[in-house]
Structure 1
């Protein structure tokens, strides 16, 4: 049987030589002069046991021990310490060290501890496989926890942005009303002055009448400019009113009677804030206005619709043809919502996984700077709709993906 390889780690030549003299006739030996170098050797799986000093430059023994245990929790490590630092060695054992030895070395005691450490380090294949599975599960849980924390932070940011947006919208409303009022007053005065000038033109000479006509044309241009101001201020007021209404509705956490077509239209208007969607995507909306009401929480449906629409938009960012079709209709006892896009499509092998948490096909776009998914958008759709006994169907091929959400009637 091949002998175990022992890694001796110490920055001082004296202790390294002492350990070499004790162990050289019994085991193949490896050497490192600091914790960083030792960790690199352990990562290459070249050591079966480590004897390591506590105090070293570059990386001390405690930090090196932690990293070794992260790589291989079963690797036996014996710490070397002086009599005055035994407490530190005990702390190392809490981290995962097998035991410790003190300077100067007792040859017999050292060999006994090495023997026991190697015996404990031997595990059967089933135990090793189980340990490997535990490590993989732990890594997955850690990754999911990190993703969840990122999502919580993102939701917190969105909540803060929502409150700020509502406050900004409220603060903008008053100045806009003043601008609108002044513009309408200016238009009235321009009309009155134009009417007076026009009434005087009948008794004027041809030369004066020509000047009056030029002045009237200038008034007409000013009136058109005023109409443009009034029209755009009115549009901006509508946008602000929609933002404030959406923000208030999203904060309501009780059930109410909802028209799903109305919520869909609000979310589509809200998405006009995405300049890519506003200017680069063709829209086709067919929303049935007289849908029967659904009893539910507004934010459950608004977030669901927003996620489906955003998912469709992201799928079309690299497509040459970009068209979003959104339809709602009553079909028997179900309200059907269809969101169709002309994006890249979903591979057949991924269709069954798209509603799993943290599963995303958008990571490949990270290098290009395009949106990177968290893998929670469609999972959230599924979770939000489950209490309503809703069904979600997906059909996809390159250039044509359709999500169909079916919500049962009769609970409005």
Structure 2
């Protein structure tokens, strides 16, 4: 009958599973009681001991407990030791296994080594030899566990650093957008300030107002009122971007966002000798996405287009409204195309289709599969961080949109963004 041997006090399988593990766990599997008890006595002061007299119970214990090393007898009634070894490795590939038998054959040794047994001991075993074999197996298990833990921690650290880099890049781009907002507001404020000063100079010492003075004031107040309205609209527009959720009806049109984007790009250092054009959308509509994120997606794609070559070239942004869902079956990844976020896209009309097109050299086939990876860049160290397209991918996914890339050597590249849209309020 199968059993679990307690170390210091009686306990069940469940008790052992719940106890905090302070030392390695050793599983002994043998259909003979004598060898099982002998091994328990040898190792009880060093490890937590689990024992089973057949293969099925050994597999059951491996499923319930985190076992470090197992000692298996090869010849057992029912399931053989080789079969148990194979099943244990299936349950937990990291378990180290020491095989023992009184009937050693070349074939069984070969099978055991193929299944990655760590050692092979003959019965009757020598205590020092068995101790050494188990100690070596336990050390290998411990080292492997530490390596895996360190690898996981390293992956977590790299992911955290990557997220921080992306967030920093997003913050930097949003800083540029908000700087543009301040620039836009500064214009109306300058006009207001100038007219207020002008009226103050003209009427500060006046004791009475003539008819022409009243007309002057009315005219200047109309101009001031228009500029105040401009400031309020700019403020409201961008505050609404921060406050609303993606499922709310948009307040700001895509054409207004394209106008803001054009102002931002006109002063961007990446423009250099390149030409640039923005075509308004014929049917004005709003995107169901944070407005600053829409601008950031288009800005990153446009800057990427500017930087595709040092030779002067043309970049153009166009858009249209789609009144039917996309036929996703027509989009196939190939050597010159990529379609991202098929599964996560909210493919329901109306959809906003925005394209950023350049007539540059195109993207080489060996580079295309990697362009959305973080930190991947073909540009010089001063031209980019390799995060721009990765941020685009992330924002498109968060907005339940999709991204279609088409490129051809010598003919240029087109990035097309599909976003959920809604009529303006």
TM-score bucket of the superposed structures, by smaller chain: 0.3 to 0.5
TM-score w.r.t. length of structure 1: 0.45
TM-score w.r.t. length of structure 2: 0.44
